[in-house]
Amino acid sequence: MAVELKWCVVTGGRGFAARHLVEMLIRHNMYSVRIADLGPTIQLEPPEKNGILGEALRSGRAEYISTDLRNKSQVLEACEGAEVVFHMAAPNSSINSYQLHHSVNVEGTKNVIDACIEQKVKRLIYTSSPSVVFDGVHGIFNGDESLPYPPKHNDHYSATKAEGEALVLKSNGSNGLLTCCIRPSSIFGPGDKLLVPSLAAAARAGKSKFIIGDGNNLYDFTYVQNVAHAHLCAERALASEGAIAEKASGEAYFITNMEPIKFWEFVSLILEGLGYERPRIKIPASVMMPIAHMVEWTYKLLGPYGMKVPQLTPSRIRLLSLSRTFDSSKAKDRLGYTPIISLQEGLQKTIESYPDLRAENALKTKREGPSKASIHLGGGKVADTLLWKDKKQTVTTLLVLVAIYYNFIASGCTILTALSKLLLFSFIFLFIHGILPEKILGYTVEKMPTSWFHLSEDMSHQVVQSVASLWNYSVNILKSIAKGNDWLLFLKVVISLLILSFFGAFSFQNLYITGFTFAFIAFYLYEKKEEDIDAILLRTRSYGCKLKSDLVGKFVPSKRIH
């Protein structure tokens, strides 16, 4: 007869490391596993459906329960009848929201502890983080568990994880509950949706060439199966009787692969394994910090209007440039933990698990038809010139513009003098061109047709209509402003005039250089990076629309319905 297994609970059971723990628990036939997570139902990926997890769910050896840790009644239901709880749930650490992290990492952890005590759960293993002892300023070399919590943490995630950890350790012994905390350092492995995909995305975008700092900072990375194994070691130690359980409980443990490596060497090995070049250009952290502070300030300003959480922040620059290594001797001594997968083997397994992210599999989309830049420029000679499609024509135009600059602008001519000189040179050129024979030394001289200088009647009407339309449009704006009830139009006009006055402060010489330089570079770049620039413009437009609606709501009184 099959032995009925006792239940364990894995909170955040659909997270990266938690999935590996769930499968390891099922494979070891230790417990029936209750997976608790936020989703209303469990959505299995194809490999999971046909694998050990899908089979366990179908047979009843595993079950899913929708649980929000902030809802105590749901947590109580999840912990009912369980012998051990692996508390692994936590929000995304890149979202630096105090309210979010405190509600889950602190209040949610309180609910888990209370539920364990009320439901008479015997053991609670809390997944913490080495960041609980990191202040974001000073590196850590071979740090052990004697390190105190810093006065100020690097971010809200670290600060609230430290609070949650302290609560778990303090609850050890309450109503027979034994607890401990696991601090896995920099988890990597198959199924990771953050580290490897972000590295591959950066490489494909050409942004992986840079090393932040001197590149010598050491890190302790931990393969994800070693993290799952550490949780089982902790559970077995707490389940032991007598001195072993007493020695293991009420403590925190650093978990690593016990193979420190230079951070940027680790990154390079992953990139090279996927077929990309390793980063080589070193940028001092002191150079990047002011930029990161500016990005962070921009996010604080535009975050409420939908701006995505930026990757370039001061805390991330520190994480990329400082050393963070930890001593796992305590876990080895008290929990019996040693890595079951080496760093080299873990890297190989990780790289092999991302065939779709390899360089040779990168999607190479070919644009069909003309680019947007070409369409905006009319698709004629102007487009060919500014987009460098006809290089001979582009170089010729640049030489003409340089000649105009040195003869008419750099010489300090007034507008009237420059115009007269330009007309003089034009008339001389046209006269000489007109008297030239049709062939010179065997080369045909193309004559300019008179139609080039002819303004048709239709074109004349269009020009006059455009001028009249512009005049009427301006008059209508003045009429609307004079009524004093269109705040939005008033703001638009004021901002437009301020921008005009800003450009008016520049000399004609500077505007000439800036304008043509921008035209020959901007359109070319837009054609090459059309999708990226369109995405940025779309986000900017959405921020603008949100800001506009806020301003309208603030300054324009709402219309009352009579």
CATH code, domain with 150:
3.40.50.720
Residue 162 within a domain? yes
Q: Based on the fold, state whether residues 187 and 265 are members of the same structural domain.
A: yes
Amino acid letter, residue 179: T
User: What does the pLDDT look like over 21-54, one tens digit per residue?
Assistant: 999 999 999 899 999 999 999 999 999 999 999 9
Give pLDDT, residue 561: 40
* 125 part of a folded domain: yes
Give CA–CA dist 54/42, Å, rounded.
Answer: 11
| pLDDT tens, position by position, 398-442 | 887 787 777 766 766 666 776 777 788 778 877 887 787 877 766
User: Does the residue 28 lie in any domain?
Assistant: yes
Q: Do 484 and 344 sit in the same domain of this protein?
A: no
Measured CA to CA, the distance from residue 5 to residue 26 in angstroms comes to 11
Q: 470 lies in which domain range?
A: 372-415+459-555
Residue 367 has pLDDT above 60, yes or no: no
pLDDT category at 518 given cuts 50, 70, 90 is: confident
What is the per-residue burial (b if ≥16 Cβ within 10 Å, else e) of 354-368?
A: beebeeeeeeeeeee
Q: What percent of the chain has pLDDT over 90?
A: 50
Residue 132: closest CA among 143, 148, 146: 148
Looking at the fold, whether 304 and 263 belong to one and the same domain comes out as: yes
Question: With bands split at pLDDT 50, 70 and 90, how would you rate the model's confidence at 161?
Answer: very high
Distance (Å) of CA 67 to CA 75, 143, 149, 274: 6, 35, 30, 37
pTM above 0.95, yes or no: no
Same-domain pairing of 487 and 408: yes
pLDDT at 366: 47
Tell how far CA 259 is from the center of its chain.
Answer: 29
Q: Are 290 and 176 found together in one domain?
A: yes
* 379 and 526 co-located in one domain: yes
Q: Report if residue 453 sits inside a domain.
A: no
Contact (CB, 8 A) for 507 and 271: no
Strand partners, 65: 36
In whole angstroms, give the CA distance from residue 32 to residue 241. 22
Please state, in angstroms and rounded to a whole number, the distance separating the CA atoms of residues 195 and 354.
12
Looking at the domain assignment, is residue 434 inside a domain?
A: no
Residue 70 has which token pair? 């902030």
Which of 327, 361, 395 is a domain's end point? 361
Cβ atoms 181, 165 nearer than 8 A: yes
Q: Are 153 and 134 in contact (CB under 8 A)?
A: yes
Neighbour count for residue 311 (Cβ, 10 Å)? 12
Same-domain pairing of 90 and 132: yes
Identify whether 182 is part of a domain.
yes
Same domain, 102 and 161: yes
Both 236 and 382 in a single domain? no
- Cβ-contact 115, 79 below 8 angstroms: yes
Q: Are residues 357 and 381 in the same domain?
A: no
Encode pLDDT of 93-114 as tens digits.
877 789 999 999 999 999 999 9
Q: Is residue 36 within 8 Å of residue 78, measured between CB atoms?
A: yes
Q: Are residues 54 and 157 in the same domain?
A: yes
241: pLDDT confidence band, cut at 50, 70 and 90? confident
List phi, psi (to 5°) of 274.
-90, 0
| Joined tokens for residue 450 | 């008179």
Contact criterion met (CB below 8 Å) for 8 and 61: no
- Clarify whether residues 327 and 235 are in a common domain: yes
Domain end (from 339, 361, 383): 361
Q: Is residue 315 situated within a structural domain?
A: yes
Spatial separation of the C-alpha atoms in residues 219 and 203, rounded to whole Å: 21
The residue with greater pLDDT, 483 or 140, is 140
pLDDT per position as a tens digit, 253-273: 999 999 999 999 999 999 999
Q: Give the active site residues.
A: 161
Rounded Cα distance, 127 and 20, in Å: 14
CB 341 within 8 Å of CB 223 = yes
Q: Is residue 431 part of a domain?
A: no
- Structurally, the chain folds into a number of domains equal to 2
